[in-house]
Structure 1
Amino acid sequence: MSEYLAPGVFVEEVSFRAKSIEGVSTTTTGFVGPARYGPLDIEPEIVTSLVEFERTYGGRDKLVFQDAGEVDNYLWHGVRAFFEEGGKRLYVSRVFTPIDATDERPGCARGGLPGSPSSMMVYARFPGRAGNARVGFTFNVGQSLLSDVDGVTFANSLQSRDVVWIRPRAGAPSPAVEDGYYLALWDAANESWAFVSSGDDIGTAEATLTDLSAANYELRVISVTVVVQPLGGGDAFVAPDLPLDPLHQRAGSPDSLFAYFAEFPASLSRARTLPIVIRAEDVAAIGTGTELLGAFFDADPNASVSPPAGLRAAMQNSQSTPAERSLAILIDDGNDGLRPFASAYEGEVDSADRKTGLRQFEDLEDISIVAAPGSTFGYESGYATHAPSIVRALIRHAERMKYCIAVLDSGDNQAISEVRAMRAQLDSKHAALYYPWVRVLDPLTQRETHMPPSGFVAGIYARNDVNRAVYKAPANEVVNLALGFERFLNKAQQEVLNPEGINCFRYFEGRGMRLWGARTISSDPEWKYVNLRRYFAYLERSIDKGTQWAVFEPNGEQLWANVRRTIEDFLLNEWQSGALLGDKPEKSYFVKCDRSTMSQNDLDNGRLICLIGVAPLRPAEFVIFRIGQWTADRKV
């Protein structure tokens, strides 16, 4: 309550209306599965196109598992189908099962400088064959930074711990400073620059700025540009003009070659997108930037003939810039590991709170659809030990998250009896099963192939919600990418599958390839339909988010009335949009929040209980027209 202590006019803002509830999104999807590349334990970034997915998780090429051989990249195909069918927002959790779990960086391509220093290693940041690459190091020499003003020499833009090349100009008097590479150090005590050729002790400086003049010397900063070119093709990654010294800092933050490509970069964005890790197993062996530069040249004499003579030979005149010198390291032996086990899909949380698999989605509350495209490939054969466990992991995740539904794939090439046996083992109001697989044109091989239905279905869910509404059943929808299906079902066959909650894809002449089912795998008839489950998830989460303001408010009549008005206004809007059954609002919903819903014990324990009932619309799954003969003179 405001205090009024001195006479005056006080203007205050008050609210005369109830708080509003905004409907939440129902189209955000989460996919989990193996990919060619990309992070495993970093919080997923939202993906809005297939191009964005490829930029982080690799392209369409097939995966090669040690135990399963070459397998289609089902996650890529699922993402493609999702966006082609109308999906908008997607999170991806990549899973990986290593061949050798004792390896420090399992599945990652690796390589090092030949010769000295052997302790500097270059690794692919993430496991996968797509990490095999050619890493090029190009050494750049900048313009001279020296300038003389009124007899005083300045080094413009020079930074502490820059690696510099100091060289006498042609025709200069006998030089006091030898041609060579130096580490520039700022002497804070004397407020001056010192240049050291080995080590980083200012006391051993071989030159200071007073020894140099723009007329007689050139002082140029040497940096390195790193180019990572994947061996399998694709765009190269370029990191230009990085300082060489491991302790180099800019604006108080490390920015050297090692800091930029560190195991844990400065930003989460870099951690997702940088393709390699450059690591010094023993920093003491690397030494300073000048020693690292010499090590590069020693490792590959073609990078630069023994300095500084080689650089001098590359000069055309006293004002020219030394030619760029390069060397390359091949990092290889990256692999796609084993076909991921069910435990990889379930995920885990390590000691540093880094999560993998489905565990990553537990922190992303906006995900309302979850799927694992391709996880049921081989359900009836070699992968039968893991595929059923993955299906159950998806269901458990959806049930745990409450406002989520799992889209389940049937197995590839399953007979009707086999998919019925699969369905008989499952029961959940938070999951729906789809059969059979969809035939599409593979853009990689230019041949027709069969893909799991979950990617298509998730995209159809999103398209249905955007074009119509979440309360409309996501069925009788065209499958845009489909050329056919793994098995063409007739009406009699679907009459066997539909009552058991197996949603089918059907071909209808003149109407194309369509999704023709919208049931969950629940044995509870109250939650028989997918749209009913998803609509209640939408209502519940919208009310959940829209009434958080009520927590810790005084629990009395005024609060109860505000809560009632807030929810009634939201449900009235739902009724007006056609989501609820009934020709009047009072027939479509009710909201109670008063002493009839709360006991004194509830009030004493800080509980506000609101009872809400809605009359949702169910789909017209069976449209029946009864036709009989009628004569003109007969009354109806």
Structure 2
Amino acid sequence: MAEYFSPGVYVEEFESSPRAIEGVGTSTGGFVGMTVKGPTIGAPSLVTSFADFQRQFGGFLSEFTHGEYRYLAYSVEQFFINGGTRCYISRVVPEDAAIATAKAGILSMRAANEGKWGNRIQVSLLSTNRRKMQLIKKESDTVYTAKSVEGFREGDLVEFAGEMNRISAIFENTVTFEKKFSADPVDTAIVPKKVLYSVEMDVTIRCDGDAETFSGVTLNPTSPAYLGRKLSGSRLVAAAVEPSDALDNPVSVILGKGVLSGTISFTGGSDGTMEAVNAGVFIGEDNGPGQRTGIQAFLENDVASIIAVPGVTIPEVVVALISHCENMKNRFAVLDIPQELRKTNDIIEYRNMVDST
């Protein structure tokens, strides 16, 4: 409101008609539904093309396995075909869906999320020894001076003449080993014939054409290359590693004595059954930031301007979606018509029933 500081006549103009409702952009969508794979907890995932959707969430679902709940992938495809530029996906799964798992020795793994897609994960282990250490002087039975200790850390395993040993301490170029070597490892030559080799492995995770490779992995928990630490960066699996003080090749510790390469398969993953699907699956739960599911996950997203749960006409889900949009005040709901409604008048009546404008 204007402020007046002296007497006089002032004219103020006001709009006499209601302001027009500003249009809402439709280039950013939000979708809730079932997919082949993908996260089911936390903020919805950004997708910028249908190819990106396929990479993150897989392709089309089968009518035979998912029935009326299979339409999310089709909707996302049409969204981009019709000019959409980006969308966010909140994946849901039936209540009896299961995560694929695998265990080998001290290594326990599970797929990143629910679904039988996880049964196609293959984890390959291969023993490697890329780094070398030359010992140039013996100080005592277990203490030596090395020409260089670059690339080695306390706790690392080394191999010399087929014998395993562990570095227990490093101070400058002085290296202390866990036990005495059976053979003399000292070699002062410029081009040494006797060297210690690092003991490590390469881990490759594959699934449906997607591959992740982690090189130079060890079982030394103090190392940046520790198996548990390396696998924490995987998009495909989550892993837990039990402590091990074995003086043995890490592949052998996991796969069995004397084994230097091998593959671990996953089992137990399930898409669940459609009988275990209910309104709550799509509505989701509000367990706080980073832990929300279903429609509730979009409480963490303030950029989606349209929200849909493709193919789902369960009344409780429809009401929850409309309420979400009304509460957020920056988006609108796109609803499907129940398949049993065939007549125009019935469809109009349904629309009027759910219309909240």
Structure 2 unaligned blocks of 5 or more: 1-22, 138-144
- State the distance in 2 between where 1:143 and 1:352 align: 44
- Gap change, CA 1:187 and 1:158, over 3 Å in 2: closer
Q: Does 1:372 align with 2:309?
A: yes
- State the distance in 1 between where 2:55 and 2:280 align: 27
Q: Which residue of 2 aligns with 1:220?
A: 197
The one-letter code sitting in structure 1 at the alignment partner of 2:148 is: F
Q: Which residue of 2 aligns with 1:182?
A: 165
Mapping 1:215-614, distance limit 5 Å = 215-230=192-207, 234-245=208-219, 247-250=221-224, 255-261=225-231, 265=232, 270=233, 274-280=235-241, 283-284=242-243, 286-287=244-245, 290=248, 292-298=250-256, 303-304=259-260, 326-339=261-274, 340-350=277-287, 353-376=290-313, 387-412=314-339, 414-416=341-343, 418-420=346-348, 422-429=350-357
- State the distance in 1 between where 2:340 and 2:220 align: 56
The one-letter code sitting in structure 1 at the alignment partner of 2:339 is: D
- State the distance in 2 between where 1:35 and 1:423 align: 28
Residue 142 of structure 1 deviates from its aligned partner by: 1.2
State the Cα deviation string for residues 151-187 of structure 1 (Å, max 9, x = none).
96223322333333223xxxxxxxxxxx323333434
- State the distance in 2 between where 1:418 and 1:97 align: 31
State the Cα deviation string for residues 505-527 of structure 1 (Å, max 9, x = none).
xxxxxxxxxxxxxxxxxxxxxxx
Which deviates further from its counterpart, 158-167 or 131-140? Answer: 158-167
1:137 aligned residue (119, 125, 130): 125
Q: Which has the higher contact order (CA 8 A, sep 6+)?
A: 2
- Gap change, CA 1:259 and 1:143, over 3 Å in 2: closer
Aligned partner of residue 272 in structure 2, secondary structure: coil
The one-letter code sitting in structure 2 at the alignment partner of 1:405 is: F
Q: Does 1:123 align with 2:110?
A: yes
Q: Which residue of 2 aligns with 1:571?
A: none
Q: Does 1:107 align with 2:42?
A: no
Aligned partner of residue 135 in structure 1, secondary structure: strand
Asked if structure 2 preserves the Cα contact closer than 8 Å seen for 1:368 and 1:404, the reply is yes
Residue 137 of structure 1 deviates from its aligned partner by: 1.5
Q: Which residue of 2 aligns with 1:553?
A: none
Residue 36 of structure 1 deviates from its aligned partner by: 0.9
The one-letter code sitting in structure 1 at the alignment partner of 2:267 is: D
- Gap change, CA 1:186 and 1:58, over 3 Å in 2: farther
The one-letter code sitting in structure 2 at the alignment partner of 1:278 is: A
- Gap change, CA 1:397 and 1:352, over 3 Å in 2: closer
- Gap change, CA 1:258 and 1:27, over 3 Å in 2: same
- State the distance in 1 between where 2:186 and 2:289 align: 51
- Gap change, CA 1:50 and 1:363, over 3 Å in 2: same
- State the distance in 2 between where 1:191 and 1:412 align: 76
Asked if structure 1 preserves the Cα contact closer than 8 Å seen for 2:30 and 2:88, the reply is yes
Asked if structure 2 preserves the Cα contact closer than 8 Å seen for 1:345 and 1:393, the reply is no
Q: Which residue of 2 aligns with 1:312?
A: none
Q: Which residue of 1 aligns with 2:157?
A: 163
The one-letter code sitting in structure 1 at the alignment partner of 2:206 is: Q
- Gap change, CA 1:32 and 1:256, over 3 Å in 2: same
Question: Could you tell me the TM-score, scaled by structure 2's length?
Answer: 0.78
- State the distance in 2 between where 1:257 and 1:71 align: 42
Identity of aligned residues (%): 24
Q: Which residue of 2 aligns with 1:77?
A: 74
- Gap change, CA 1:191 and 1:64, over 3 Å in 2: farther
Asked if structure 1 preserves the Cα contact closer than 8 Å seen for 2:201 and 2:250, the reply is no
- State the distance in 2 between where 1:334 and 1:411 align: 32
State the Cα deviation string for residues 484-524 of structure 1 (Å, max 9, x = none).
xxxxxxxxxxxxxxxxxxxxxxxxxxxxxxxxxxxxxxxxx
Which deviates further from its counterpart, 48-57 or 236-245? Answer: 236-245
- State the distance in 2 between where 1:398 and 1:274 align: 32
The one-letter code sitting in structure 2 at the alignment partner of 1:123 is: R
Asked if structure 1 preserves the Cα contact closer than 8 Å seen for 2:122 and 2:265, the reply is yes
- State the distance in 1 between where 2:55 and 2:169 align: 41
Residue 220 of structure 1 deviates from its aligned partner by: 2.1
- State the distance in 1 between where 2:46 and 2:286 align: 21
State the Cα deviation string for residues 552-578 of structure 1 (Å, max 9, x = none).
xxxxxxxxxxxxxxxxxxxxxxxxxxx
Q: CA RMSD in A?
A: 3.2
- Gap change, CA 1:152 and 1:184, over 3 Å in 2: closer
Asked if structure 2 preserves the Cα contact closer than 8 Å seen for 1:162 and 1:243, the reply is no
- Gap change, CA 1:297 and 1:366, over 3 Å in 2: closer
Residue 390 of structure 1 deviates from its aligned partner by: 1.4
Asked if structure 2 preserves the Cα contact closer than 8 Å seen for 1:227 and 1:238, the reply is yes
2:134 aligned residue (142, 146, 150): 146
Aligned partner of residue 46 in structure 2, secondary structure: coil
Aligned partner of residue 217 in structure 1, secondary structure: coil
Q: Report which of the two structures shows the higher radius of gyration computed on alpha carbons.
A: 1
- State the distance in 2 between where 1:71 and 1:145 align: 62
- State the distance in 1 between where 2:281 and 2:147 align: 62
- Gap change, CA 1:348 and 1:61, over 3 Å in 2: closer
Aligned partner of residue 282 in structure 2, secondary structure: helix
- State the distance in 1 between where 2:264 and 2:63 align: 25
- The structure carrying a bigger helix percent of its residues is 1
Residue 413 of structure 1 deviates from its aligned partner by: 5.5
1:195 aligned residue (151, 158, 177): 177
Structure 1 unaligned blocks of 5 or more: 1-22, 100-105, 168-178, 197-204, 305-325, 377-386, 430-636
The one-letter code sitting in structure 1 at the alignment partner of 2:77 is: R
Residue 258 of structure 1 deviates from its aligned partner by: 1.3
- State the distance in 1 between where 2:164 and 2:123 align: 24
- State the distance in 2 between where 1:290 and 1:390 align: 56
Residue 52 of structure 1 deviates from its aligned partner by: 1.4
- Gap change, CA 1:32 and 1:288, over 3 Å in 2: farther
2:92 aligned residue (74, 95, 98): 95
Asked if structure 1 preserves the Cα contact closer than 8 Å seen for 2:107 and 2:254, the reply is no
Asked if structure 2 preserves the Cα contact closer than 8 Å seen for 1:135 and 1:330, the reply is yes
Which deviates further from its counterpart, 72-81 or 361-370? Answer: 72-81
Residue 327 of structure 1 deviates from its aligned partner by: 0.7
- Gap change, CA 1:123 and 1:152, over 3 Å in 2: closer
- State the distance in 2 between where 1:278 and 1:407 align: 39
Residue 289 of structure 1 deviates from its aligned partner by: 7.7
Q: Which residue of 2 aligns with 1:46?
A: 46
Asked if structure 2 preserves the Cα contact closer than 8 Å seen for 1:246 and 1:288, the reply is no
